[in-house]
Amino acid sequence: MFKLAAFTKILLAVLISIGSMLTLNLIILLCFLSLEIIVVLFCPKWKKAGMAMFVLGLFSLVLFVIQVFCGTTFVLAAASALRMAIMAISIVLMIFFTRTQEITAALVQQFHLPYSYAFMVTAVLRFVPDLLAESRSVREAQSCRGYSGTGSPVQRLTGYMTIIKPMLFRAIERSEHMAVSLEMRGFSGTQPRTFMSATSLFVIDYLILLSCIFLLVFVMVNF
């Protein structure tokens, strides 16, 4: 999984998401989720990936409880929660296991996506960890100024605005700097792009993709 091409990882995330949407069988959905958990256990960044899966699992549990409370059947509520968890975790694992440069190269060279759109996708992926790191630094800075996340829900919400405002201004400033930097480097040019990251597929990539396609067809036919 860690040595696969970016093209293979992107397709695996897409195929697993499609497979989870095509079935209501809880056993199949649990099998998909179990495979993702096994992958996380062998991940070099298993702590960060495990924390992300834990948060997504909590969101799925909340979704399940809300649907059951609103009268949805147990099977349909559980399937919806598992689907959300499977699709979100597959995207998270793809991001954890793939460098953004490789994702950009695969989107342009193999998916034939225009470079501007591919760069937009990878820029969003690159901004997520930066924003999380900035939120921690802003929270620590505001704590030194007397901010505390305690009190009633209304007080917490209004107090959290002292964190959101600096983050918003920093994000705007960062986007302006990136726009100027891209223009100076000829981002809007029409010349063909070259990439340092290799995007060629190997035998293991074809084998895994074929196995995933066969599994998807099996799910479609039998469930």
Q: Say if residue 169 is in the same domain as residue 201.
A: no
According to the model, what pLDDT value does residue 148 have?
Answer: 67
Whether 11 is in a domain gets the answer: yes
Q: Say if residue 161 is in the same domain as residue 218.
A: no
Whether 109 is in a domain gets the answer: no
According to the model, what pLDDT value does residue 80 have?
Answer: 87
N-term to C-term CA, the chain: 27
Quote the tokens at residue 30.
Answer: 């649990």
Task: Provide the domain limits for residue 135.
Answer: 114-189
CA 4 to chain centre: 18
- Nearest C-alpha neighbor of 82 from the set 97, 94, 67: 67
**68-77: b (≥16 Cβ within 10 Å) or e:** eeeeeeeeeb
Total count of domains within the chain: 2
DSSP line for 30-45: HHHHHHHHHHHHT-TT
Q: Say if residue 177 is in the same domain as residue 223.
A: no
The DSSP 8-state label assigned to residue 71 in this structure reads T
According to the model, what pLDDT value does residue 2 have?
Answer: 55
Q: Say if residue 3 is in the same domain as residue 89.
A: yes
According to the model, what pLDDT value does residue 63 have?
Answer: 84
According to the model, what pLDDT value does residue 23 have?
Answer: 80
In one-letter notation, the amino acid at residue 193 is: R
Whether 164 is in a domain gets the answer: yes
CB-CB neighbours of 39 under 10 Å: 19
Whether 213 is in a domain gets the answer: yes
- Nearest C-alpha neighbor of 209 from the set 59, 73, 63, 8: 8
Q: Say if residue 44 is in the same domain as residue 92.
A: yes
Helix, strand or coil, per DSSP, at residue 152: coil
According to the model, what pLDDT value does residue 132 have?
Answer: 67
pLDDT in tens, the chain (223 residues): 557 788 888 888 888 888 888 888 888 888 888 888 887 777 666 666 667 777 777 888 888 888 888 888 888 888 888 888 888 888 888 887 788 888 888 888 888 788 778 778 777 777 766 776 777 777 777 777 776 666 666 666 676 777 777 777 777 777 777 777 777 766 666 666 676 666 677 888 888 888 888 877 777 676 5
Q: Say if residue 123 is in the same domain as residue 172.
A: yes
